[in-house]
Amino acid sequence: MEAQNQEVAALVQKIAGLHAAISKLPSLSPSAEVDALFTDLVMACVPASPVDVTKLGPEAQRMREELIRLCSTAEGQLEAHYSDMLTTFDNPLDHLGRFPYYGNYVNLSKLEYELLVRYVPGIAPSSVAFVGSGPLPFSSLVLAAHHLPDALFDNYDRCGAANERAKKLFRADEDLGARMAFHTADVASLKEELGAYDIVFLAALVGMAAEEKAEVIAHLGAHMADSAALVVRSAHGARGFLYPIVDPEDVRRGGFDVLAVCHPEDEVINSVIVARKVDARAAAARKDGLGDWRGVVPVVGPPSKCCKMEASALEKAEEFAANKELSV
């Protein structure tokens, strides 16, 4: 135990040092210095570690929350930079591989689709929402092009400039362009619209702190259609210094049945929670504290080699395996 405590303390100290260095940067726009610091940060967070970031002290929690916000800003600026670059080509979609982490999006979207097929049998969505799509909506693009070819996608982002950039990526692809719509809106303003979707994907950086994420999920639970699927991106272990961690119990309290929780062990950094909206009567019973609604996520074989399943929301999966070829 003492050795684990020392390991955790050393990791937190290292990440705090990187946070201090990143905080001093004059800009988070892509540059050699920015890229190097965020590469070091990811390299520190991805290998297996006994750290449980939710149990860190107040000072470390404040540092972590600020670091996640810095990561969000840097990620947004990186995506804006590459979105602008891609739109200089006649067909931007022919050059997606120029984005250095496009493969990560391909793998994450594939994992999410495999989990949906496995845990929501018979799902054949005609209408999908992606909340927090950004200037490079790679997830929607990969899902639409390779996994859900008959679905229409509504992409929501509260940044109008991000949506304008995203639209330009599809100008030369008539099919995908016709199936991709972009809306400038905060998720809190979406109500009746949410009832039209078979699946809602919630991006990792929509709602930074745990309380914000829980509020977003509760809002989705209040307005999504009964039995609609929800895919929530989360984080696990030390990767919680990069992205917010979503407690599956918050998903349940938001009015959903949690069907699966998956923690990737490869270059995919985000964890994935797959859930399904319960009907109004069951949701009311949960709110009133009636009935036994704390279901158990089934222990089953993973849909691919890159993840392990949790037996329940309260159990911990194994820590992430190291991958030394990553960067943000």
52-61, 90-99, 212-221, 303-312, range with the lowest pLDDT? 303-312
54-58, 188-192, 311-315, range with the lowest pLDDT? 311-315
Going by the DSSP 8-state scheme, the letter that residue 74 receives in this structure is H
Q: How many residues does the chain have?
A: 328
Residue 302 pLDDT more than 50? no
Of all residues in the chain, the percent with pLDDT exceeding 90 is 75
- CATH number of this structure's domain 92-300, picked from the four choices 1.10.357.10, 3.40.50.300, 3.40.50.150, 3.60.15.10: 3.40.50.150
Section 198-216 average pLDDT: 94
Sequence ranges of the domains in the chain: 1-87, 92-300
* 232 class by beta-carbon count within 10 Å (0-12 exposed, 13-18 middle, 19+ buried): buried
Q: What is the pLDDT of residue 208?
A: 86
Q: What is the pLDDT of residue 320?
A: 29
Q: What is the pLDDT of residue 217?
A: 97
- The reported pTM is 0.87
Q: Which amino acid is at 313?
A: A
Would you place residue 153 in the very low, low, confident or very high pLDDT band (cuts 50, 70, 90)? very high
Q: What is the pLDDT of residue 328?
A: 35
Non-local (6+) Cβ contacts of 110 within 8 A are 142, 146, 147, 304
User: How crowded is the C-beta side of 275, counted as CA atoms within 13 Å?
Assistant: 36
- Tens of pLDDT, residue by residue over 232-241, are 999 999 999 9
